[in-house]
Chains A and B, each alone.
Chain A
Amino acid sequence: MNDTPRVGVVTFPGSLDDRDALHAIAAMGGTGVALWHADHDLRGVDAVVLPGGFSYGDYLRCGAIAARAPLMAEIRSFAERGAPVLGICNGFQILCEAGLLPGALIRNASLRFVCEDVWLRVETSQTCVTAGLTPGETIEVPVKHGEGQWVATSEELERVEGDGLVVFRYAAEDGQLGDAFNPNGATNHIAGVRNAAGNVVGLMPHPEHAVDPDVGPTGGQPLFAALFEAALAGATA
């Protein structure tokens, strides 16, 4: 019986939230496993987190080079087997560049880097990180990015909205939507999306910076709790 999930965190050249992600996993009671982008080995983990940062200096496009890193081949098959994969910030950009999630992230509409706590409205509980949350509920987590404006082609946007692939929208604490609550101009206030199966999720905000009540909001806790559940379900399946 294995009741401590092993959650891998991938370090790419230029990742900077990998240690915070490992810290959050440990703080939430999981076992963090450091993974290296150039390996072909997921070290038997039950879930994978792609952390924030500026992989490859954001050269070409944010996440573009990292999306073609050797380990991404393993992560692609891991995701195709239904195992949980969470991309945060640069990790979200990488998943979009890898084609594992719809859309793309471009420069914030304000042209400014944003660094603040935001509220997110949960849009679906059908994912590996929102299984413990109710649609309409809001959580508070920080954002910190310069290129977080989620966009998609009109056909892709129709599919994302039509198929319920939106996981989080920027909102007020009471769930109300509005440009005032959208830090980057993201289309339809979209902060995070999922794949069709719900086992791959990406979001620009940082749940790994929101697990410790001593240093800020704790909106990240339910996401890691759900990720652990999904990891253990996969590990025993």
Chain B
Amino acid sequence: MTTYTFEVLVSLKPGLLDPQGKAVEGSLPAMGWTNVSGVRIGKHIKLAVEAADEATALAQVQDMATRILSNPVIEDFEVLEVAAT
């Protein structure tokens, strides 16, 4: 068995209000950065999966991302594979 490390990036779907992003964006002009827009804050989930091979591990992470790590009604996700050890 190999341990595969992944990062799952979860973001609110475009068009849905992101209060954190809005608040952070609102703070930037006060610090002199007046040229920034579109700040969106998502979630970054790191996890390690023990599996026989990479494809199996990736399929499991995709499944977990769909069924609990994100809510497909309001969020999109992206799975990044980081390392195999």
Residue numbers of A with Cβ under 8 A of B are 60-61, 64, 68, 96-97, 103-104, 106-107, 109, 111, 149, 151-153, 156, 185
Contacts and interface: CB of A to CB of B under 8 A. Distances in A.
Interface string B6-45: 0000001000110100100000000000000000000100
B68 interface: yes
Contact of A106 (B22, B43, B74): B74
B79 interface: no
B17 A64 contact: no
6 contacts: A60-B69, A61-B71, A96-B73, A106-B17, A109-B17, A185-B17
A149 to B, nearest CB: 8
Contacts of B12: 106
Interface of B: 12, 16-17, 19, 22, 43, 68-69, 71, 73-74
Contacts of A152: 73
A151 B16 contact: yes
Contacts of B68: 60, 64, 68
Contacts of A104: 71, 73-74
Give the dominant DSSP class at B's interface: mixed
Contacts of B43: 60
Contact of B73 (A107, A149, A151): A151
B74 A97 contact: no
A61 B72 CA distance: 12
Given A151-B73, A153-B73, 12 more contacts: A60-B69, A61-B71, A96-B73, A97-B71, A104-B74, A106-B74, A109-B17, A111-B17, A111-B22, A149-B17, A151-B16, A185-B17
B71 A107 contact: no
Contacts, number: 31
Nearest to B45: A60
A150 B12 CA distance: 15
Contacts of A64: 68, 71
A104 B69 CA distance: 14
B71 A111 contact: no
Kindly name the residue among B22, B43, B74 whose own CB sees the greatest number of chain A CB atoms within 10 A: B74
A106 B16 contact: yes
B21 to A, nearest CB: 11
Nearest to B20: A107
A47 B16 CA distance: 35
Contacts of B69: 60
Contacts of B22: 111
Contacts of A111: 17, 19, 22
Nearest to A96: B73
Contacts of B73: 96, 103-104, 151-153, 156
Contact of B74 (A60, A109, A151): A151
A-B residue pairs, 3 tightest by C-beta:
A104-B73, A104-B74, A111-B19
